[in-house]
Structure 1
Amino acid sequence: MKSQQRADYWREQITLWQASGLSGQIFCQQHQLTYHQFVYWRQKYRMPEDPLSPGFAKVTATVPVNSAELTLSLPNGLVITGLNDSNVTLLGAILRQL
């Protein structure tokens, strides 16, 4: 089987599987397909939800964040307040000393 024929065959199998409602493993058993090959082609034809950032979710703040009000409370009772963008590197230095 030539590579284009193989690709067409597996695209058809993946389409049939999606319409079947079966798990991949059951579908492969019923259609005498090799499961690891099925998984390979399923991954190959999977369309990412957001092609610009696969594996990441977009996060939107619903409440404006004021970094000047950031407070860090440590388990030993130490509280560090007044953290903001301009002094966050200082926080790293402090935590490394603890």
Structure 2
Amino acid sequence: MVNPDLHAFWQKTLSDWQESGVSGAAFCKQQSLSYHRFVYWRRKLNGSTNIKKALPSGFARAAPVPKGQAKDGLTVSLPGGVSITGLHAGNIELLGMVLRQL
């Protein structure tokens, strides 16, 4: 059973965080709160609704290519439908040069 005072405290804290516009980690540091406890209560009280959407992590989704559809070398698909195909150890520097221009 959850202590009603604790429940109310975290509801108010999460509301204050949402209004602050800062990350959860920064908010916890400012308020001297345990970030792990903050995350626990955020999930417990809000689930996946009513919380700010997380910023993109910077990671891209990778998926295997079914057998028979694989082409020689690596294929990189960029947003907007642009694909760079045929990359391998001999020309991988080309990918870096292209991505730096984007």
| TM tier relative to shorter chain | 0.3 to 0.5
Q: TM-score, normalised by structure 2?
A: 0.45
Q: TM-score, normalised by structure 1?
A: 0.47
